[in-house]
Amino acid sequence: MKNLVFDVNVILDLWLERQPEDRLLLIAQLIESQKSGAAGCWIASPSLHVLEYLARQQFKKEGVEPARARQVVKRLLAHLLKNLRPLTCFGFQQDEALLAHSDLEDAQIIKAASVLHGPVAIVTNEKRFDTTGTDLVQLSPPQADLWLQDPAPLPAIAFIDLQAQQNRMRPVLEEKVHRVLHHGQYIMGPEIAELEAALAEYVGVKHSITVASGTDSLEIALRALGLGPGDEVITVPFTWISSAEIIGLVGATPVFVDIEPDSFNINVDLIEAAITPRTKAILPVSLFGQMPDYAAINAIAARHGLTVIEDGAQSFGATQQGRRSGGVTTIASTSFFPAKPLGCYGDGGALFTDDDELAEKMRAIRTHGGVRRHHHPLLGMNGRFDTLQAAVLLAKWPHFAGEVEARGRIGARYSEPLKDCCVTPGVLPGNTHVYAQYTIRVAERERVAEALKAQGIPTAVYYPKCLHEQPVFAELGYRWGDFPEAERASREVLSLPMHPGLTEREQDRVVAAVQAVVG
């Protein structure tokens, strides 16, 4: 997305009506492009006091009583900050700003603008900024209007655009991260409890336990259930390795069950055939952002006295019959890996349960098996979620529901035109899909991927190899052909660019490119 950083003189023109009406409307329109989503609109923090001084001085010259002038200008600034995002000029940028050829205020504006991702224009009445060494442009309001409308080719499409998301939430992100830097409780700070409460309420469970990674969350769940050598856990062979890796890590044995071709999730009809006297749990994966049929899975588990653990690493935000991923099994886990629907800026994860005893155990295992300081009745791990990462998620949290809605809309918009030329992801009745990945199936996958790459469209393959093909699981004795749907999926799947900020124009480019090569 393009960004506009407004110079003081343009805002003063608007406030003090120093231009004709049509120009004032144009400036107002540019500012409102933030709300319409046409641009990210900013005011650099070093500009704020200048605006205050100059507006008050104008009113003073007009004979306005100082207290009244101050009140009016404060209200104007408050209104401005409701419509423009404040852009920070950091302490570490001051040295370079001081050494710039232009005056300090102008240099600070340039430094502040330079942290933004994507094209940035300074909207100003005078090209006086020294933008040497940056990609910033300086435009008058009419030029900025044309610039926003310019349909010039956009850069390559992002597979997942975390930078645009960061722009959208930057002021809150800075606030939340700064709060941690200030209070200094980097381990289990107050952000952890705040986030856990928000997550539990959202999922609809009694307990949410944040942990250091999605992988850790699964291992903690299995340890809390007491699983170990001699036990079997049913899962799928078509997923990220963590799902089966942690079964082996606790000493248990992964038992694979093939997937359904449409949803890529576990084939519920095949589960019971895999149950043995040693089976203790079923660990289905809600792959790519949609849940398998948990009503059926829970019923099977109940018949055989098994525990169900949802691996919801990719499905946080998805629902099934109105219940959210994380809230339909005895234990559920998710991942906050950056590319996930709710991703932090590092590794992270969470566990969910309604079971008080399991929650207590999982909390203890997360912290070296301790239930209070220097008292460790269990073997645990160093599995705590970082306070700074919790702060990042708290900054993202107000946007999350909207992003989930956008993901569903974008996924459906992909499927409509693509369903005629390739296999699109099926959505089970009663499910909503968050499309952590939008994954199609195509023959000649490499040819399609190359054709898209040539047009600046990235793709990815999740997953090119099934888990039973991995050397680490060779001792399980599985052979090629044991899981035909998983094996076929591993040869045909291709994930397309997918993120909540994907524009219709970008999506149309992707669709056209896919249709051109396979249509």
Partner 1 sequence: MRVEALYDHGQIKFNPPIHFATECFPVIIQLPDAEVLAVTNSEAVEAPSATASPVGSHLLEDIREILGPLARRRPAVGVAEDKATLVEVLGEKYGIPKSKLGRD
Residue 415 beta carbon to partner 1: minimum distance, rounded to whole angstroms: 33
User: x/- site string to partner 1, residues 331 to 350, per CB under 8 A?
Assistant: --------------------
Q: Is residue 88 at the binding interface for partner 1, with CB under 8 A as the rule?
A: no
CA-CA distance, 328 to 291, in Å (whole number)?
A: 10
Q: Is residue 381 at the binding interface for partner 1, with CB under 8 A as the rule?
A: no
Binding residues with partner 1: total (CB under 8 A): 40
Q: Which of residues 8-27 bind partner 1 (CB under 8 A)?
A: 8-9, 12-19, 24-27
Q: Is residue 72 at the binding interface for partner 1, with CB under 8 A as the rule?
A: yes
Say which residues have a Cβ less than 8 Å from residue 400's Cβ, sequence separation at least 6: 317, 341, 342
Residue 1 beta carbon to partner 1: minimum distance, rounded to whole angstroms: 18
- Residue 27 or 362: the one with the smaller Cβ distance to partner 1 is 27
Residue 25 beta carbon to partner 1: minimum distance, rounded to whole angstroms: 5
CA-CA distance, 206 to 353, in Å (whole number)?
A: 6
Q: Is residue 163 at the binding interface for partner 1, with CB under 8 A as the rule?
A: no
Output the CA–CA distances (angstroms, integers) from residue 263 to 66, 137, 376, 422, 514, in the order listed: 67, 46, 42, 14, 20
The greatest distance separating any two alpha carbons of the chain, rounded to the nearest whole angstrom, comes to: 90
Q: Is residue 125 at the binding interface for partner 1, with CB under 8 A as the rule?
A: yes
How many CA atoms lie within 13 Å of 183's alpha carbon, on the beta-carbon side?
15
Stretch that binds partner 1, among 64-72, 150-158, 267-275, 363-371 (CB under 8 A): 64-72
Q: Is residue 50 at the binding interface for partner 1, with CB under 8 A as the rule?
A: yes
Which helix (DSSP H) or strand (DSSP E) does residue 108 occupy? helix 104-113
Residue 166 beta carbon to partner 1: minimum distance, rounded to whole angstroms: 26
- Residue 80 or 221: the one with the smaller Cβ distance to partner 1 is 80
Instruction: Report which of 281, 303, 308 is spatially closest to residue 293, judged by C-alpha positions.
Output: 308
Residue 26 beta carbon to partner 1: minimum distance, rounded to whole angstroms: 7
Which residue among 3, 4, 5, 28 contacts partner 1 (CB under 8 A)? 28
* Radius of gyration, CA atoms only, the chain: 27
- Residue 35 or 479: the one with the smaller Cβ distance to partner 1 is 35
Residue 135 beta carbon to partner 1: minimum distance, rounded to whole angstroms: 23
Q: Is residue 54 at the binding interface for partner 1, with CB under 8 A as the rule?
A: yes
**Which of left, alpha, beta for 111 (phi over 0: left; psi -120 to 50: alpha)?**
alpha
Stretch that binds partner 1, among 48-56, 211-219, 401-409, 492-500 (CB under 8 A): 48-56
CA 15 and chain centroid, separation: 37
Q: Is residue 187 at the binding interface for partner 1, with CB under 8 A as the rule?
A: no
Instruction: Dump strand ranges (E) for 158-212.
Output: 207-211
Instruction: Report which of 404, 387, 398, 414 is spatially closest to residue 319, judged by C-alpha positions.
Output: 404
Q: Is residue 302 at the binding interface for partner 1, with CB under 8 A as the rule?
A: no
- Residue 99 or 273: the one with the smaller Cβ distance to partner 1 is 99
User: x/- site string to partner 1, residues 127 to 146, per CB under 8 A?
Assistant: -x------------------
Give the torsion sign (CA, 479, 481, 485, 488): positive
Instruction: Report which of 261, 285, 273, 297 is spatially closest to residue 439, judged by C-alpha positions.
Output: 261
- Residue 103 or 356: the one with the smaller Cβ distance to partner 1 is 103
- Residue 76 or 476: the one with the smaller Cβ distance to partner 1 is 76
- Residue 20 or 481: the one with the smaller Cβ distance to partner 1 is 20
Strand partners for 496: 438
Helix/strand/coil for 348 = coil
DSSP secondary structure code for residue 425 in this structure: P
Q: Is residue 70 at the binding interface for partner 1, with CB under 8 A as the rule?
A: no
Q: Is residue 108 at the binding interface for partner 1, with CB under 8 A as the rule?
A: no
Helix/strand/coil for 338 = coil
Scanning the structure block, which residue is given the tokens 């390795």?
Answer: 241
**Which of left, alpha, beta for 427 (phi over 0: left; psi -120 to 50: alpha)?**
beta
Residue 6 beta carbon to partner 1: minimum distance, rounded to whole angstroms: 12
- Residue 140 or 470: the one with the smaller Cβ distance to partner 1 is 140
CA-CA distance, 265 to 437, in Å (whole number)?
A: 13
Give the torsion sign (CA, 12, 15, 19, 23): positive
Scanning the structure block, which residue is given the tokens 């009016």?
Answer: 72
Say which residues have a Cβ less than 8 Å from residue 20's Cβ, sequence separation at least 6: none
Residue 76 beta carbon to partner 1: minimum distance, rounded to whole angstroms: 6
Which residue among 37, 57, 146, 456 contacts partner 1 (CB under 8 A)? 57
**Residues within the interface to partner 1 (CB under 8 A):** 8-9, 12-19, 24-32, 50, 53-54, 56-59, 62-65, 68, 72, 75-76, 79, 83, 124-126, 128
